Amino acid sequence: MPAKPDNFPPLEIAYVGERLAGVDEVGRGPLIGSVVAAAVILDPMRPINGLTDSKKLTARKREALDLLIREQALAFVVAEASAAEVDQLNIYHATHLAMRRAIDGLAPAAEYLLVDGNRLPGHILPGQAVVKGDARHPAIAAASILAKVARDAQMVALDMRYPEYGFARHKGYPTKQHLEALTAHGPLEEHRRSFAPVQRQLALI
């Protein structure tokens, strides 16, 4: 088992071994872009200090930990399901698709999954869902950080193309600024057409 820093409470896990993958996602709530998932197998010989729920970290700290995770983990994968897949499948199923893609890309392969939330993503591997898992196990925390950094980078890149929408600030979530920009400028190709605020604007076109 990967070494656990003191800030993680005890978590009963039905697995003893080193190839345990933490899995988490970012981007269920935004109106635009992909939902991004990450899977991480930490190296028990190279524990990483400072891991926690990505939402509790500053952007600078997340980016520093992102580099450490990529350097020191036994394996990691960041994967996604596109806005089009979100519209086709719904956000719940698209999130699980992104998770399965991340898990399937791990090399070495995982033997057991710890997934943030209350549902497993329908993978063949055994595992357990852990509510608020990104604050309860370092591997899930590591996955949350990789996913958050990757999706935020996508929003910053989108902001450079469409600065009038403010994506670098709100990261695609339905803030007042985003909704006002959506009303003023209309939906972009990258917007999720199945989400109600986007649907309303498309109906006006």
| Contacts of 118 by beta carbon, 8 Å cutoff, 6+ apart | 129, 131
Query: What dotted CATH number matches 20-163?
Result: 3.30.420.10
Three-state SS for 135? helix
Contact 9, 132 (CB under 8 A): no
Contact 18, 1 (CB under 8 A): yes
Question: What pLDDT score was predicted for residue 35?
Answer: 98
pTM of the model: 0.94
d(CA 100, CA 120): 10
Tens digit of each residue's pLDDT (9 = 90 or more) over 170-195: 999 999 999 999 999 999 999 999 99
Tens digit of each residue's pLDDT (9 = 90 or more) over 106-136: 999 999 999 999 999 999 999 999 999 999 9
Name the residue with higher pLDDT: 111 or 5. 111
| Cα diameter, the chain | 57
Q: Predicted confidence band at 139 (pLDDT cuts at 50, 70, 90)?
A: very high
Express as a percent the part of the chain with pLDDT over 90: 92
Question: What pLDDT score was predicted for residue 3?
Answer: 40
Question: pLDDT at residue 101 above 80?
Answer: yes
Question: pLDDT at residue 203 above 60?
Answer: yes
Contact 24, 79 (CB under 8 A): no
